[in-house]
Structure 1
Amino acid sequence: MVLSERTEVPLRGIDAVVGWMRALGAALPERDGVAVFNRVYLTVTEEVARRVDDGHFTDPGAALTLDVRFAERYLAAVGADAGGGRPPACWRPLFQFRRHPGVRPLQFALAGVNAHIGHDLALAVVDACRTLGCEPADLEDEFDRVGELLVSLEERVREDLMPGPDLLEIADPLTHLLGSWSLERAREATWSAARALWALRDLPDVAGEFAGRLDAAVGLTGRMLLTPLPD
């Protein structure tokens, strides 16, 4: 599988998204940092698909469009890295440190979530609005329901990937890293960023500068989350 060959080709539905994530996971070593995040994200995407089928979303079509546009941003970043290109700044720390022995699996997972939620989701909301011909406010319910799922998943990720009881010790550096980032706060900031980008859509230079600064800021946070830690 060569993801770089499909970087610019839009995916056509959530089944395609799930298929690509499964193929990516099968192609990567289990301990690879991208593989760690990919497993987390695959779980989210499969759960979104199940909840769409169960009638969890008031507008299933809008929810699926947002989810697919969201996933395309992640897979495009993976494709750019695999093809020797330059992925967004928010993803570069994860690609750079993905095999570092001093970075723990929980850090990889949270760094990926940070990049995807903090940067990609805001742009995906704008992408979805353009696809559907709607305003961000029309997607707020779907955004909130996906966000609730992500928050519950983050709690599960922390439980599954925590290194053990030593984490409870205040002296453990990972304790401080975990306390420095919040998915809920990131999600709130992302919604504000999406609204701002949509308001700036007729000012492409300003919107591009705003998106670039958002990308850089999220990348800086990702670099902090991936600080190598002693055993």
Structure 2
Amino acid sequence: MTATTIDEVIENLEQIIQESISEESTLGYFAALYQNVTIHIKEKLGKNYFDDDKRMEQLDVIFANRYLTAYAKYKEKKEVTKSWAIAFKSSTDSMLIVLQHLLLGMNAHINLDLGIAASEVTDDKTIKSLESDFNKINELLATLVDEVQKDLAEIWPTLLKILKFLKKVDDFLINFSMKLARNKAWEFANELVKGDKEKKEKLLELKDLEVSEFSEKIINPGILVKILFTIIRLGERGKSSDKTKKLEKLIENKLDNH
């Protein structure tokens, strides 16, 4: 499962969404979010939004293939990065809320994969010219990440009630702000383009470990927050397929309004 164009990325993500719906898998949550972001990136091409449309599509495809390849390997029971291994394994954890599943996917893909993709479309002499478009692609992601908590509360009111009752969950989510994720991904890309093969392998190993450690915090955020998440989970009624469809529609409407 690999793509060579942005259209193929969208098609492959649709395949994952439909597969997840038929299998009642929570993996459809992240795929639904990712597909809508990709569609809107495609719509920006050719409209003088990005500085370099050709390079941006190349970045988008390389970036997406990191996820598509990891997903395919997981389904074939092959080894993937620690970050994706945790996200995929957690898809069978019935006690995680939708927001946790989304954060696990975003953590692996943005904090690990995005920097790698950026380093593969540039080198140490040209990476500076990518920064503007790099920030723009993140702006589209940020429109979702910053508001996903509120949006999910519209679907499952229990989430909204608890967030109003105790701000502790907000404090937990602040640790995964898009701005922080974007800045770290950019720093990681710059480190990668400057290193030789041996240094790059070491950087990848250390980054994967760092990202996977944060994944564990998303799964186990502490006793108090975990109790709150358990209560929220009880309010998230319905099958995984129903939640995927609701999330897909909600995200689509949110992006249409931006």
Same-fold status (TM-score > 0.5): yes
- Contact in 1 for aligned 2:84/2:108 (Cα 8 Å): yes
Whole-angstrom distance in 2 between the partners of 1:170 and 1:182:
19
Show the counterpart of 1:49.
42
Alpha-carbon distance, 1:158 to partner: 2.1
Show the counterpart of 2:31.
38
Unaligned residue ranges in structure 1 (runs of 5+): 1-5
Letter paired with 1:27: E
Show the counterpart of 1:170.
166
Show the counterpart of 1:62.
55
The yes-or-no answer on 1:136 pairing with 2:118 is no
Whole-angstrom distance in 2 between the partners of 1:45 and 1:159:
22
Alpha-carbon distance, 1:168 to partner: 2.2
Higher helix fraction (1 or 2): 2
Whole-angstrom distance in 1 between the partners of 2:219 and 2:206:
20
The yes-or-no answer on 1:213 pairing with 2:206 is yes
What per-residue deviation string (whole Å, max 9, x for no partner) do you get for residues 25-59 of structure 1? 00103863321111111111001001114331121
The yes-or-no answer on 1:73 pairing with 2:66 is yes
Whole-angstrom distance in 2 between the partners of 1:156 and 1:47:
17
- Contact in 1 for aligned 2:142/2:178 (Cα 8 Å): yes
- Contact in 2 for aligned 1:40/1:157 (Cα 8 Å): no
Alpha-carbon distance, 1:101 to partner: 1.8
Show the counterpart of 1:111.
104
SS in 1 for 2:49: coil
Whole-angstrom distance in 2 between the partners of 1:128 and 1:192:
15
Please say which of residues 176-185 and 64-73 is displaced more in the overlay.
176-185
Alpha-carbon distance, 1:121 to partner: 0.4
What per-residue deviation string (whole Å, max 9, x for no partner) do you get for residues 163-211 of structure 1? 2222222276x444313322210110110110000000xx211210111
| Aligned positions of 1:136-155 closer than 5 A | 136-155=127-146
Letter paired with 1:230: T
Aligned identity (percent) is 23
Whole-angstrom distance in 1 between the partners of 2:219 and 2:31:
16
The yes-or-no answer on 1:94 pairing with 2:87 is yes
The yes-or-no answer on 1:199 pairing with 2:191 is no
Whole-angstrom distance in 2 between the partners of 1:216 and 1:226:
15
RMSD value, Cα: 2.0
Show the counterpart of 1:179.
174
SS in 1 for 2:146: helix
What per-residue deviation string (whole Å, max 9, x for no partner) do you get for residues 77-103 of structure 1? 101101111111111121111121210
Aligned residues: 218
SS in 2 for 1:129: coil
TM-score (norm 1): 0.87
- Contact in 2 for aligned 1:107/1:225 (Cα 8 Å): yes
Alpha-carbon distance, 1:134 to partner: 6.6
Unaligned residue ranges in structure 2 (runs of 5+): 154-158, 221-225, 232-258
Whole-angstrom distance in 2 between the partners of 1:161 and 1:115:
21
SS in 2 for 1:167: helix
Please say which of residues 24-33 and 58-67 is displaced more in the overlay.
24-33
- Contact in 2 for aligned 1:70/1:121 (Cα 8 Å): yes
Letter paired with 2:152: L
SS in 2 for 1:11: coil
SS in 2 for 1:230: helix
